[in-house]
Amino acid sequence: MSAFHPAVVGLARCVCQVDRPFLCAYLSGMAKLPIITLPDPLLRTQSAPIERVDDEVRQLADSMLETMYAAPGIGLAAIQVAVPRRLVVLDVSDKDEPRNPLVMINPEIVSLGDTLAPYEEGCLSIPDVLVDIDRPSTVRVRYVDRYGKSQELDAAGLLATAIQHEVDHLDGRLIIDFLSRLKRDIVVRRFKKQLRSAKI
């Protein structure tokens, strides 16, 4: 999930001998990773669970955090860096506050609150697009932390919104899915046109 003004991030990727275009940076320690954007079809992929929490997973989480902070954003799903695994990182602390990173492996929303709250959401994979979305203002989420321990968290406000946004990514859902079909198609066509222009 992006901050208020999402930054445009490059599309460069590197094909390694794992899953699809896993990033070479993923295998070489903490590094800023390229973020994939529309119309990349991988963004519609259902991410697979992580079966074991090891140093490789922790390296990926650290690189995702660095990427998220640099973008800048408040949340990032592994699928956004072309890794189709159920991993998200978040930090909704204000810019004047100390960083408070949160790593969630295999997050599962257990329950949602009854009250909806509006928020203008952006997405690092859909630069410069903001969508007004009403989501439950509270959420309970179960996940595995970076040490392999099961955790459960009750979140409210912006954190609740960010968690729902990132879990949507893991299921192949994007903020433009909250738009009418006409508006969604306009956004997709714009990004396809930008991609064609970039190849010329």
Digit-by-digit pLDDT tens for the chain (200 residues) are 754 323 222 222 222 223 333 344 334 456 799 999 999 999 999 999 999 999 999 999 999 999 999 999 999 999 999 999 999 999 999 888 999 999 999 999 999 999 999 999 999 999 999 999 999 999 999 999 999 999 999 999 999 999 999 999 999 999 999 999 999 999 999 999 988 887 76
Catalytic, 152? Answer no
| 36 contact partners, CB below 8 Å, separation of at least 6 | 11, 13, 42, 43, 80, 81, 82, 125
Catalytic site residue from 51, 56, 97, 166: 166
Query: Which domains occur in the chain, in start order?
Result: 24-199 (3.90.45.10)
> pTM (2 decimals)?
0.83
CA distance 1 to 130: 11
CB 107 within 8 A of CB 77: no
CA distance 115 to 112: 9
